[in-house]
Amino acid sequence: MTLQSLFNETATEAERNWLEMKMAAPVPARLAAFVATPRFVARRNVPEPTDGVPPTWTMDQLARVLLLLSLPTEPEAAYVKAIQTLFDTGELHEFVALYSALPLFAYPERWLFQATEAVRSNMGPVFDAIAFDNTYPADYFPEAAWNQLVLKCIFNDKPISQITGLAKRANQTLANDLSNFAHERWAAGRTVPPEVWQLIPRFMNETLLGDVKKLLQSTNEQDRLAAQHIIDQTDYAPAKQLTGNDHP
């Protein structure tokens, strides 16, 4: 089901008529409609999300994304200027729509600055819009920006399982940073979310081996299970020897 079909099936007749009219209007009117959308399309959850539409999307957000997708992509300069104007003047819910639509924009590399700025945002919904159920970071973020996104999720106890491409973008620097994070948490008498450890099996080294040993000795069953998962998934021989399982 396309985004347009999803909207048409779940919107009221008045909402459908309004969006259809605005999508056919000149570009300045479409940009104005993007801002005015909540006056004409209710902020209610999309009842039956489909592929490409996370369960957190609302109907006004979907309408805004459709307005963005209706913009002519040529010439490139005019297209980029139109969307940049929305980034420059947006409010919270407008930002959420813009960042959730990033994977669908033309000229995707042109939006890297805006995307990485969202990672630094203190507005939770804006950060969530770029971090969760969004393919743009995995496809376009350089390693440092990707690692910052993952670490910020972990620092703020957000569910990294909702980050698209998490396993694909795992890397040695991130694994080392996660070890440092764990040591800081342990030194403060705090726990480490067990799902953090899924990112290290391919990047085991002596330091991370020490972390696995600590997890195995934990009184927390989830820590011990995380350690066993690392042992099962890694090719690092010293880790295999922790359970006498030396096959790769």
Average pLDDT taken over every residue of the chain = 94
- Residue 224 pLDDT more than 60? yes
Give percent of the chain above pLDDT 90.
Answer: 92
Question: Residue 246 — very low, low, confident or very high, per pLDDT cuts 50/70/90?
Answer: very low
pLDDT digits (tens, 9 = 90+) for 136-165: 999 999 999 999 999 999 999 999 999 999
Identify the pLDDT of residue 49: 63
Residue 247 has pLDDT above 90, yes or no: no
Mean of the pLDDT values across residues 61-70?
97
Provide mean pLDDT across the span 97-103. Answer: 96
pLDDT at 60: 97
Q: Say yes or no to pLDDT of 245 above 90.
A: no
- pLDDT tens digits along 3-48: 999 999 999 999 999 999 999 999 999 999 999 999 999 999 998 7
Q: What is the pLDDT of residue 47?
A: 82
* Residues 181-199, mean pLDDT to the nearest whole number: 94
- What secondary structure does DSSP assign to the chain, as a single string? --HHHHHHHHS-HHHHHHHHHHHTS-HHHHHHHHHHGGGTS---B-SS--TT--TT-BHHHHHHHHHHHTS---SHHHHHHHHHHHHHH--HHHHHHHHHTGGGSSSGGGGHHHHHHHHT-S-HHHHHHHHSS-SHHHHH--HHHHHHHHHHHHHTT--GGGSTTTTTT--HHHHHHHHHHHHHHHHTT----GGGGGG-GGG--HHHHHHHHHHHT-S-HHHHHHHHHHHHH---HHHHTTTT----
User: Can you give the pTM of this predicted structure?
Assistant: 0.91
